[in-house]
Chains A and B, each alone.
Chain A
Amino acid sequence: MTNEILVIVEQRDGKLNGVSWETLTGAQTLAAASGWTVAAAVVGHNVAAIAAEIAGKKVAKVYAIEHKDLALYTPDGFVAALKPFIEQQQPRVVLLPHTYQVRDFAPKLAAAVGTTLLPDCIGFKYEGGKILFTRQMFQGKFVADISLSGNGLCFASFQTGAFRGDKVEAGMAPAAVETVAASIADGAILTKPEAPYKESKQAVDLGQAQIIVAVGRGIKEQKNMEMVRQLAEAMGGELGASRPICDSGWLPMDRQVGSSGQTVAPKLYIALGISGAIQHIVGMKGSHTIVAVNKDAEAPIFEVADVGVVGNLFDLVPPLIEEVRKLKA
C-alpha cells in the first residue's frame, strides 16, 4: 500500500462535473494533515482535456483511464476499468464525490477491491495515521465518526458541499498525465444505457427565483397548499417543495428542491413543514437567508436556518400573509 490518496473525478460528455473540485479539495486537505500525496483519475473515452484540466491543480499525477466502451457510463464498465487500476496503484485512500453515478458503481468497485465504501461523508478527522470519517445518520439528526478496518484501503465519498470546490489548490506546474488503456472483456458490460435527457421542458426555473416558499410533509393535506400559494404570491416568490410533496403530485416535479430536483440559492428560502432530510438540504443550503418553520425543535432543517420558528405552520402562515400584504401595500 502506497501513501497515495486517489481521487476519482466525474465527467459526462467530456465535461468535468464541478463537484469533483470539492473532492479534490477534500483530498488536498487530507494530504496536508497526513503528508500523503494526491493523485487523480478520470474515466471515459477521449478524456485527455479533462485530465489536463485536473493536472493544473496541486496533484502529484493524473491518470486518464480510456476505453471506447467507457464513452457512456455503465457500472460494469467503470468497475471493470477501475478494479485493476486500483489494485495496481495500491492507494491508501480512494475518494469520490457522492453523486448518483458514484452511488451506482462505487459500492461494487469497493467490494471488488476487498473493502466497503463509506458513503456521503461530510468530513474527516485525521490523527496519527488513522482517519475517522464523519457522516450524517438518521437523515441528519445525528452525526457519526466512523473508523474503517480491513485491508487498509479507505474508500469514501464526500457529500456535495462538504468541501469548497473554489478552495482547491492550484499546482506550481502542470502535473504529469498518464493515459491508461483500460481492458474491458467482451460481454463484460451487461447494461445498455441510452443518453441522459431532461424531462419535459421545465416550466419554472427555480434557480432564477429570488424568493422561494417551500413546503414539506408538514403541510399534511393537499388542500392546505392554498395558503402556501397565497404566501408565495404575497411575497412575490416561487413555490418549491421537498420530494414527498412532488411524489404525491401536489406540485409538479420541476418544483422539487434537492439532489434529484433543483439546486437553488435564492435571497430568501422559507421552509414550511420541511424536516430537512439530507437530500433536500443539499439543494438549498446555499440560500442567502433561510427561514424554517417546523413543530419539531429537533428537525435537521434548523441546522441550516438563519431564522427558526418552532411551531405550527398553520397558525403562523395566515398572519404572515397578512403582514407581508401590509408591507407591500
Chain B
Amino acid sequence: MKILVCMKQVPKKDAALKLNDAGTWIREDIEFEVNEADAYALEEALRQREKHGGEVVAITAGPARSQAVLREALAKGANRAIHLEDDRFAALDPFNIARAIAATIKDDNFDAVFTGLQSDDYGYAQTGVLLSYLLGWPHATIIMQLEKIETGIKVKRELESGSFQYVSLPLPAVLTMQSGINKLRYATLIGIKQAKSKPMRKVTWEEVSAALGENLHKIEKLYVPQKTKQTEYLSGTPAEIARKLVEKLRNEAHAL
C-alpha cells in the first residue's frame, strides 16, 4: 500500500502559551511537537506497510520548524517526506491546506491518505475529510482499527459513549485515526541516522498557490476564556490542604 500520512506540528502539550500583542494568535517562542493523533496515523501506516509492503510518505505544511515532524517520521521508518515549506501555510484554513496537499500529490497514485482525527491547536478535525472531497475518494473518521480486505479496507470507527461500528470502503480512501489505535514506536538510533539520507521534497508556496482559494475563517480575537465558575483555590502545606479539602467536601459539598 502506498500511504500518505498528513502530519502537523503543534505547540508542545505543556508549553506555556501567551497571546501575541494583537490578540489574534499565540506567541511562537515556545516548543513544538508532532500532533499526537498524527503520530498514531504514522504508526498505523508503518504497521500496514510491515504487513502488506508498499511505501509510507510523510507530508506537512508549515514554516521551516515543522520539518522536525518529518525528520521524526523518517527516523521512525517513513520512506520519504514532503515539506510544503512557507510561513504562510500556517495561516491557511483546513480547506486550503487540503487544496495545497491535493495539488502536491496529484501525480503520486497513493492508495490511501492517513491523518490524525484532529489537531490539538485548532481541533477542527477537517483536513482529512476535505482532502477526500477534493480527491473524490471515500473516507472514514475516528478509526480505532484498520484491516486490508479484498474489496478495500475495513475499519472500526469509534462512536460516542463506548460504541463502535465496522465500515468497509474501497481504496483509494482517506482515513482519520483516533489516538490509541496502536502503540507508538520510538525512533531508533539507526533510524535517526538513516533519516538524514532519505528523500525530503520541498514544495514552495508558489508551486501550489494557484490551487488555493480565500480563507473563509478569520480569527477576529483570541483571548483567555472568561471564567463562569468561581473556583476556590486551596493553599498551604499538602497536609493543610488535605484537611481543608476533606472538611469542605464533608460540610459544604456534603459529598463525603
Contact = CB atoms under 8 A, between A and B. Distances in A.
Given A137-B122, A307-B231, A307-B234, A192 B165 contact: no
A139 B232 CA distance: 23
A99 to B, nearest CB: 7
B165 A308 contact: no
B238 A149 contact: no
B236 to A, nearest CB: 10
A247 B125 CA distance: 20
Nearest to B230: A306
Contacts of B249: 268, 289, 291
Given A149-B218, A316-B242, A327-B250, A260 B160 contact: yes
Contact of A194 (B166, B223, B230): B166
Interface centre among A115, A193, A260 (most CB of B within 10 A): A260
Contacts of B64: none
Interface in B128-143: 129-130, 132-134, 138-142
A74 B243 CA distance: 54
A171 interface: no
Interface residues of B, number: 78
Contacts of A147: 217-218, 220
Contacts of A116: 93-95, 126, 130, 216-217
A320 interface: yes
Contact of B17 (A142, A195, A260): A142
B105 interface: no
A103 B142 contact: yes
Given A143-B224, A268-B249, A190 B126 contact: no
A305 interface: yes
Contacts of B158: 100, 260
A253 interface: yes
Contacts of B256: 211, 235, 268, 324, 327
A260 B164 CA distance: 10
Given A140-B225, A145-B220, A291-B249, A199 B162 contact: yes
A191 B154 CA distance: 10
B217 A148 contact: yes
Nearest to A72: B165
B232 A144 contact: no
B241 A311 contact: yes
Give chain A's interface residue range (CB within 8 Å of chain B). Answer: 35 or more
A244 B120 CA distance: 14
A170 to B, nearest CB: 27
Interface string B221-256: 111110111111110001101110110111001111
B129 A316 contact: no
A253 B165 contact: no
Contacts of A190: 138, 169-170
A268 B252 CA distance: 12
B231 A306 contact: yes
Contacts of B130: 107-108, 111, 116
B255 A289 contact: yes
Contacts of B160: 99-100, 259-260
Interface centre among B122, B214, B249 (most CB of A within 10 A): B249
Interface in A214-263: 235, 243-244, 246-247, 253-254, 256, 259-263
A310 interface: yes
A288 interface: yes
A310 B242 contact: no
Interface centre among A75, A116, A235, A288 (most CB of B within 10 A): A116
A137 B167 contact: no
Contacts of B19: 142
Interface string A40-74: 00000000000000000000000000000000001
B232 A100 contact: no
Contact of B164 (A141, A196, A292): A196
Contact of A243 (B180, B220, B224): B180
B246 A324 contact: yes
Interface of A: 74-76, 99-101, 103-104, 107-108, 111-112, 115-120, 132, 136-150, 190-199, 202, 211, 235, 243-244, 246-247, 253-254, 256, 259-263, 267-268, 275, 278, 288-289, 291-292, 296, 298, 300, 302-311, 315-316, 318-320, 322-324, 327
Closest 3 CB pairs of A and B: A247-B180, A268-B255, A319-B242
Given A138-B120, A309-B241, 13 more contacts: A75-B139, A103-B141, A104-B157, A116-B94, A142-B224, A144-B219, A146-B217, A196-B159, A235-B256, A260-B160, A303-B228, A307-B232, A327-B246
